[in-house]
Amino acid sequence: MKIRLNLTLFLASLVALFLGAPILGLAGVWGFYVKGMPVPHFLKILHAHTAWWSLVLLLSSLIISSVNLKPFIKRIIIYSSFFIFPLYALFITLHYTSNPSIINLGTFGRFFVTPYGFLAFLLEFLFFAQMLILIFLAGGLKISFLQQKEEVLGKDEIESDVYVPRKVFLVYGIFLFISVLAGLFILSNFTLQHKPVSPAALTQLHTHTGIFSVGFMMVMLAMSALGVNIEKLNFFFRFGTLSLLGTVIGLLIFILFKTHSIVWVLPSGLYFIFLIFGWLSLFGKFGLKVPSDNNYFHYLRWCLIVIWGALLIYTSAGAYLALRYDVSSDLTVTYKQQGGCIEGKHVGPYPDVENYQGTAPVKHNPRGLENFHLSPGSWSHVAILWLLILLIFGKEIFQTIKAPNLLFALGVTIVQAPIINSIGRIGAWLDLPGGIGPLFLVAQPLKTLNILSLIVITILFLSIKSKNK
């Protein structure tokens, strides 16, 4: 399938990320964390959900223009994406600050519900239904009442010469769907019943399957954009699919049979190797299609090499945590435990919801390493996907807005934000002077600047294109 960028949906993903990262994330930091107060659990979940879902929206901005949707269906998906995230955040906040009603369903449990929570669930369902439909249409599914025969390129859409095999989208959609199902299971069996998630590894099944599916798409998109030949691309597709399947099966065995964590860490190691293949492809090891005007291409390729290499470091910390601390499916290093629990390192089960004490201390604790794994790792996924979009479409965008050299500055700041984040995480874990300061005082403002810059650039591009039309 040919990759095309819908700038309006891309703008919606940036707005969603701005809500999830600077607004919700910094509300937790400056409203609670710096005051020594536990950040409300729902605020942390909102921050994570909104930020990660924005990446699903970003990938859909590369899909929606190539699946021949009927115009009114396309408009519904695009414009609803601007409202779903703010309304979801509003309703979740109201849900957790309201007195819930209790619905007793006997053997099924007691559910704590509010009208606001129900509305938030409807928005969540609508979002993922739209995204999964787009993904499976890209994977080759035909839905006649949603699609039209002719291809029509809108004024807010850009074409590329990059093609991605449809089966890639199919695998991405299947594993994203598994992640969503795991999330719904956690929601219905634990969150709505005010029970701690048990076993804790259910959360890993939910998060890692979703993150790996996005990473799978990221690697395959990068290889396609770089011009990896089709035979090697097919090999990497099979290898990546195997790594995702092995990880999910390993996590299910880990959860159901209470085994050692090695049963899922080992197949997830295949996924790590898959990421290494993606990194090596940036060096041209598997073929490189260089455009005639190659200044942007090589510059952004080296930006990608730097941040992708950093991602490999952040990812490897997860394997260490799983093999050193999260060895049982009942254990997590995320939350503060009564008395410090195992070795005083705050390694233990999910806390009772009614007696939530906040997250585990960072200094010299595995929680600090988890922060190093999760936060810079998440930011790196965002940075890589942005840089891939700039690699494929940047020349047309920046020449249209008559600021061709701005791309070079933006490439640097996009790479810097996750790396400075990681410096702050290391400082907090080691309890160095200044500690987490680089994150709060440099990385977060830089990330916010990157989001706002891309929002302004996208709006300016759309404005110029609209006038030219």
- Residue appearing with tokens 């004490």: 357
Contact 204, 331 (CB under 8 A): no
- 3-state DSSP call for residue 352? coil
Contact 397, 158 (CB under 8 A): yes
Domain boundary pick from 100, 135, 163: 163
417-443 b/e (C-beta count within 10 Å ≥ 16 → b): bbbbbbbbbbbbbeeeeebbebbbebb
What contacts 349, CB < 8 A, 6 or more positions away?
Answer: 196, 198, 200, 330, 331, 332
Region 191-200: mean pLDDT is: 95
Cα–Cα distance list, 265 to 32, 196, 208, 378 (Å): 34, 24, 11, 19
Q: Is residue 374 part of a domain?
A: yes
Provide the domain count of the chain: 3
Q: Is residue 168 part of a domain?
A: no
Q: What is the pLDDT of residues 121-139, one digit of tens each?
A: 999 999 999 999 999 999 9
- Residue appearing with tokens 């095309």: 4
Would you list the DSSP string of 257-295? H---THHHHHHHHHHHHHHHHHHHHHTTTT-----SS-H
Q: What is the pLDDT of residues 226-248, one digit of tens each?
A: 999 999 999 999 999 999 999 99
Q: Which long-range contacts (CB under 8 A, 24 or more apart) does 136-145 make?
A: 136/169, 136/170, 136/173, 137/63, 137/67, 137/69, 138/1, 138/63, 138/66, 138/67, 138/166, 138/169, 138/173, 139/166, 139/167, 139/169, 139/170, 139/172, 139/173, 140/166, 140/167, 140/170
Q: How many CA atoms lie within 13 A of 73 on its CB side?
A: 16
Do 430 and 311 have their domain in common?
A: yes
Region 73-92: mean pLDDT is: 97
Contact 278, 219 (CB under 8 A): yes
**What is the rounded CA–CA span in Å between residue 317 and residue 367?**
11
Do 228 and 318 have their domain in common?
A: no
Whether omega for the bond prior to residue 349 falls within 30 degrees of 0, making it cis, is no
**What is the rounded CA–CA span in Å between residue 342 and residue 325?**
9
Do 110 and 196 have their domain in common?
A: no
**What is the rounded CA–CA span in Å between residue 171 and residue 248?**
13
Specify the range with the lowest mean pLDDT, choosing from 165-169, 240-244, 329-333, 352-356: 352-356
Do 216 and 357 have their domain in common?
A: no
Q: Is the pLDDT of residue 155 over 90?
A: no
Do 92 and 220 have their domain in common?
A: no
Q: Is residue 390 part of a domain?
A: yes
Q: How many CA atoms lie within 13 A of 400 on its CB side?
A: 19
Q: What is the pLDDT of residues 275-329, one digit of tens each?
A: 999 999 999 999 998 887 778 899 999 999 999 999 999 999 999 999 999 999 9
Region 340-350: mean pLDDT is: 89
Q: Give me the torsion for CA of 373, 377, 378, 382, rounded to 10°.
A: 170
Do 267 and 320 have their domain in common?
A: no
In this prediction, residue 339 carries a pLDDT of: 82
In this prediction, residue 469 carries a pLDDT of: 62
Q: What is the pLDDT of residues 248-281, one digit of tens each?
A: 999 999 999 999 999 999 999 999 999 999 999 9
Domain boundary pick from 132, 163, 194: 163
**What is the rounded CA–CA span in Å between residue 135 and residue 457?**
27
Phi, psi of 261 (to 5 degrees): -65, -15
Domain boundary pick from 261, 289, 317: 289
In this prediction, residue 127 carries a pLDDT of: 98
**What is the rounded CA–CA span in Å between residue 45 and residue 186?**
13
Q: Is the pLDDT of residue 338 over 90?
A: no
pLDDT band at 463 (very low <50, low <70, confident <90, very high): very high
Query: Whole domain around residue 201: which residue ranges?
Result: 173-289
- Model pTM above 0.75: yes
Contact 410, 466 (CB under 8 A): no
Contact 211, 52 (CB under 8 A): yes
Beta bridge partners of 102: 112
Region 196-217: mean pLDDT is: 97
Q: Is the pLDDT of residue 101 over 90?
A: yes
Do 279 and 294 have their domain in common?
A: no
Q: Is residue 366 part of a domain?
A: yes
* Closest to 59 in 3D by CA, of 228, 221, 178, 235: 221
Do 283 and 306 have their domain in common?
A: no
* Closest to 278 in 3D by CA, of 320, 243, 322: 243
Pairing state of beta strands 101-104 and 2-6? unpaired
Do 294 and 281 have their domain in common?
A: no
Q: Is residue 68 part of a domain?
A: yes
Q: Is residue 205 part of a domain?
A: yes
Contact 254, 263 (CB under 8 A): yes
Do 11 and 143 have their domain in common?
A: yes
- Residue appearing with tokens 């404005």: 463
Q: Which long-range contacts (CB under 8 A, 24 or more apart) does 248-253 make?
A: 248/175, 248/178, 248/205, 248/209, 251/201, 251/204, 251/205, 251/208, 251/209, 252/205
**What is the rounded CA–CA span in Å between residue 151 and residue 271?**
36
**What is the rounded CA–CA span in Å between residue 132 and residue 56?**
10
Q: How many CA atoms lie within 13 A of 329 on its CB side?
A: 20
pLDDT band at 345 (very low <50, low <70, confident <90, very high): very high
Beta bridge partners of 378: none
Contact 247, 212 (CB under 8 A): yes
Q: Is residue 254 part of a domain?
A: yes
Do 153 and 196 have their domain in common?
A: no
Looking at every residue in the chain, the average pLDDT score rounds to 95
Q: Is residue 316 part of a domain?
A: yes
Region 90-114: mean pLDDT is: 94
Do 256 and 349 have their domain in common?
A: no
